[in-house]
Structure formats: structure tokens, C-alpha cells
A and B are shown apart, each in its own frame.
Chain A
Amino acid sequence: MVKKISFLILSVIILVIGIIAFSKLSYWDRSVRIFNYSLGTPLEGRPGRGPGDREFEAGEGRPDQGIRERNIPDSLRQQFRPRGGDRLGSGHLYGEMRNGEGRRGSEFAQGKKINIRNVKWFLAVFAAFTVIVIYTDKAIFLMRKRKGRQTAIKEIM
């Protein structure tokens, strides 16, 4: 019994942290963007822009100004900061970006160390989904078991 209660408490903690991480990462907005995207939609002012879409090519639009005010992790927020006003490179520069050379390659130079600060939030969401499914699965199993028992009793009577 003590084991079950401690697992339940642990599950609740995982769920709470998962919910916090879910809102912190704007998980829903960033997940459903795939369904809202249309090729004809202009990029400026398009809602739901998140940290994953920080890179812009020439002629593809510019980063949403409102993104800096959003609740996103600090290291992801850094990705939005304009660097010397040259965020919007010209199209021909794309060739220089390959193999980590050129301006774009240096963007990830600071990622040469291990930083799992953001990963823990993703882990929290992942664990929350797992916990929800484990308990839902158990609940369905118990309901089916109870239903089966009731049917068996009815058949006997």
C-alpha cells in the first residue's frame, strides 16, 4: 500500500512538472502549427511562432517581434536575438552555411558544451504523457474487469 501511495505521489509530481513544462515550451502551439501552416500565409504577424522557427532566409519574412515577450526558456530565447542586425542574410549566402562555415555555422558554436537545461523540460512532458497513458490504461483494464465480473454475475443469476 505504501508503495502504491508513493508511486501515486511521484506520478502526481511528474504530472504537475509536465504541465508546467507543457506551457513553458508552448508545446500545444508548436505541435499544431503543422496543421495551421499554409504556403500562402504571409509570415509577418502569423500567430503561434515559436523558438523552433528562429531561422529566416532572405525573402521569407522576419522574426515575430512579439516572440521576445513569450514565456520560453532562456537558451531558446537567445536564438531570437538579432546579431548585429544581419539576421536576414541574402539568399546567396546559403552556400557558405554548409559544413558549419560562414555566419550560420557560428550560431551553434556556443553549443559545444553539454547543456541539458531545455532537455529536462522535454523529459518532463514526455514523462507526463507516459504517466497519463499508464494510469488511463490501468483504469480501462479495471473497468473492463469490473464489467466482466458484472456480466458473469448476471449470467449466473
Chain B
Amino acid sequence: MNIFKFFLSLTITIAMLLLMDPRSFYGLAFHEWAGLTIGIFFILHKILNWGWIKKVSVGFFRRCPGRARFNYVLDVLLLAGITLMILSGIAIARTIDFSWLNLGGSRIFWRVMHTSSSFITLALFGIHLGLHWNWVLQILHIKKTNGKKN
């Protein structure tokens, strides 16, 4: 399961980096479809970690380590960032027709939201990876689970 989680996270990270520039990888159509797919992957990532989310949600204001609390707040911000990124992406989409959603607001408003939220979310992705670096090293068998390096 951990290996699957690792590859899912790796896919999300690579896709996120490729999506930062709409021109980088097969143009706007890829950008829009991959943007929607990344949202599905993100939900899957949350489902796979649902046990942790449930545990911290219940004990957030009671007995909960500071690190877990920080991770939780970061995850909420990431969720908000991804939601805004996808929502604004839908509002300014060109190759996929989302006009039936009638999201309202000017195009420039959504564009500002899309750019800023994606930049903030990428930074949050980096922070999230940094906080889970030991887990990554464990998955790659660079670090033993007891914390001692090979």
C-alpha cells in the first residue's frame, strides 16, 4: 500500500510541475485534462490516508502532537488550494466546455485566482514533501523505520 501511495504522490508531483506551464507538455488540452485528473488523484490520496485524517480530526483540539496538527493545517490549505485551482481552471477552460456550470465572475478574476492558487499550492506541495521526507526515504529503503540510516 505504501508503494502505491508513493507512486501516486510522485505522479501528482510530476503532473503538478508539468501543469505549471500550460505550454510545456502538449499544450492546453493536456493542461486541462491533466488538471482534472490531478484532482481525482488528490481525492484518492486523501482516501488512502483517511484513517489519519479521521484520527487527527477527532483529536485536533485535544491530545494531538504539534507536528500532526501542523500537517493537518497544511493539508487543509492544500485542499483549499487544489479546489480553487481546479475551480478557477474550470472557469477559464477552453478545450473542455464547462460553460453550463455558469460559475460567473470575470475571466481575468478567475485567471488571477488560477495563477496565484497554483503558485501557492506548488509551494505547499514542497513543504508537504519536506515534512514527509523521512517517509519517502523509508519507502526508498534509504532509511530504516527505526530512524537509523543504512
Which residues of A are interface residues toward B (Cβ below 8 A)?
A: 27, 30-35, 37, 39, 43, 50, 52-53, 55-57, 60-61, 75-76, 79, 97-100, 104-105, 107-119, 122-123, 125-134, 136-137
Q: Does B123 contact A (CB under 8 A)?
A: yes
Main secondary structure of the interface of A (DSSP, over half): helix
- Structural contact, A116 and B24, CB atoms closer than 8 A: yes
Complexed CA–CA distance, A4 and B119 (Å): 31
B55 to chain A, nearest CB (A): 21
B82 to chain A, nearest CB (A): 14
Complexed CA–CA distance, A53 and B28 (Å): 15
- Structural contact, A52 and B126, CB atoms closer than 8 A: no
- Structural contact, B26 and A111, CB atoms closer than 8 A: yes
Q: Does B52 contact A (CB under 8 A)?
A: no
- Of B1-9, B43-51, B128-136, the one with at least 4 CB within 8 A of chain A: B128-136
- Structural contact, B27 and A137, CB atoms closer than 8 A: no
Q: Does B11 contact A (CB under 8 A)?
A: no
- With A56-B108, A125-B126 already in contact, 18 other A-B pairs whose C-beta atoms are closer than 8 Å: A30-B115, A30-B116, A33-B112, A33-B116, A39-B106, A39-B109, A52-B115, A53-B115, A55-B92, A56-B107, A57-B106, A79-B23, A100-B28, A126-B17, A126-B122, A126-B123, A126-B126, A133-B126
Chain A residue with Cβ nearest B99: A98
Contacts A31-B119, A53-B108, A98-B94 given: A129-B127 contact, CB under 8 Å?
yes
B124 to chain A, nearest CB (A): 8
- Structural contact, B126 and A128, CB atoms closer than 8 A: yes
- Structural contact, B115 and A123, CB atoms closer than 8 A: no
Contacts A30-B116, A31-B119, A130-B133 given: A115-B97 contact, CB under 8 Å?
no
B51 to chain A, nearest CB (A): 23
Report chain A residues within 8 Å CB of B73: none
- Structural contact, A112 and B114, CB atoms closer than 8 A: no
- Structural contact, A122 and B17, CB atoms closer than 8 A: yes
Complexed CA–CA distance, A18 and B22 (Å): 21
- Structural contact, B107 and A57, CB atoms closer than 8 A: yes
- Structural contact, B130 and A130, CB atoms closer than 8 A: yes
B27 to chain A, nearest CB (A): 3
CB pairs A–B below 8 angstroms (22 shown): A31-B116, A37-B113, A39-B106, A43-B108, A60-B106, A108-B22, A109-B27, A110-B23, A111-B24, A112-B26, A114-B24, A119-B20, A119-B25, A125-B126, A126-B129, A129-B123, A130-B133, A131-B130, A133-B126, A133-B130, A133-B133, A134-B133
Complexed CA–CA distance, A131 and B119 (Å): 17
- Structural contact, B111 and A52, CB atoms closer than 8 A: yes
Report chain B residues within 8 Å CB of A118: 20-21, 23-24
